[in-house]
Amino acid sequence: MASRQRGEVTAMTNNPEIGRMIATGATETNYHDLGNGAPVLLLHGSGPGVSAWANWRLPLQALSTQFRCLAPDLAGFGYTTTPDDFVFTRQAWLDQIIAFLDAAGVEKAHVIGNSFGGSMALALAIARPERVHRLVLMGSVGVPFELTAGLDAVWGYTPSFENMQSIMRIFAYNQALVGDDLVHMRYEASMRPGVQEAYARMFPAPRQRWVDAMSHSEPDIRGIKHKTLLVHGRDDKVIPPSTSMTMLNWIENSQLHIFGRCGHWTQIEHAAEFGRLVGNFLVAE
């Protein structure tokens, strides 16, 4: 894979979450750029301590054998540099994504969005349909639903090892995946200077309003003409599978795959199957 890797880890660090930096308006975006072929933009979720690498490290290995995979840290997450007065809104994140595509020289890409990133993938497809080829929405936010206890806990996270362990257990159906090393890594990431301060500003209580703010109107979603793959874990405690059923009904050219024995971590709990499913969808006639 090294011969196909564009976004190599910065030489001064052994931290795999740090890739390259690129100017994107008010932010300087940390991103990973691996593989050759048709570009694929991967947009991560909004869990505490998340980064593009933490979210997409397994799919990047699979998909970069066929595609050029670009995985940015959105503002407020990972190692992207964000001004202290940055206002976290769907429009601000969308502006960053468009600026990132422009700076990376990508006119049009397949877009894969996970959870919160799914709402941003939808936002791009609605606002700039010419920039999107095919859509993959995984456990996606983007349509109205009642705030789950799981999502309330995720967005309401306050730093401690125990709290991070509890959040990771909400994400995973397979509890064996929630080892101390993973919990410690995500906890330490959430404790980096400025990270929790930014996270606390994104989704303060009452949090139903942020579900609503990240939702798109039914006419806008029905207007999406892109070929779309919806993926969801049957046992997801964060984003209910009913959201994907709603999008299946609203997006005309769509299909849905539901994984049993799977929580919110489809790309981790069923990594090999997820990679094959997405890869086949992106190249199918």
8 A C-beta contact, residue 25 and residue 96: yes
Is 133 a catalytic site residue?
no
Report the pLDDT value the prediction gives residue 7, as an integer from 0 to 100: 34
Instruction: Show the CA angle centred on residue 119, arms to residues 108 and 48, nearest 5°.
Output: 115
- Three-state SS for 10-33 is CCCCCCCCCCEEEEECCEEEEEEE
Which listed residue (44, 110, 232, 264) is catalytic? 264
Helix boundaries (H) for 26-128: 52-63, 90-103, 116-127
**Sequence-ordered strand ranges (E) for the chain:** 20-24, 27-34, 39-43, 68-72, 109-114, 132-138, 228-233, 254-259
Contact 55, 44 (CB under 8 A): yes
Whether residue 110 lies in the annotated active site: no
Between CA 252 and CA 260, with CA 254 as vertex, the angle to 5 degrees is: 140
pTM, 2 dp:
0.95
Would you state the pLDDT for residue 75?
Answer: 98
Pick the catalytic residue: 64, 115, 190, 244? Answer: 115
DSSP 4: G
Q: Which of 46, 110, 190, 236 is catalytic?
A: 236
Residue 229 gets the label, from left (phi > 0), alpha (psi -120 to 50) or beta, of: beta
Does a cis peptide bond (omega within 30 degrees of 0) precede residue 206?
yes
Closest CA to 51 of 236, 141, 142, 185: 185
- Each residue's pLDDT expressed in tens, for the chain with a length of 285 residues: 222 233 333 334 689 999 999 999 999 999 999 999 999 999 999 999 999 999 999 999 999 999 999 999 999 999 999 999 999 999 999 999 999 999 999 999 999 999 999 999 999 999 999 999 999 999 999 999 999 999 999 999 999 999 999 999 999 999 999 999 999 999 999 999 999 999 999 999 999 999 999 999 999 999 999 999 999 999 999 999 999 999 999 999 999 999 999 999 999 999 999 999 999 999 998
240 touches 263 (CB < 8 A): no
Starting from the edge strand earliest in sequence, which strands make up the sheet with 132-138, in order? 20-24, 27-34, 68-72, 39-43, 109-114, 132-138, 228-233, 254-259
For the question of residue 115 being annotated catalytic, the response is: yes
Which residue, 136, 147, 278, is CA-closest to 215? Answer: 147
Determine the pLDDT at residue 13: 65
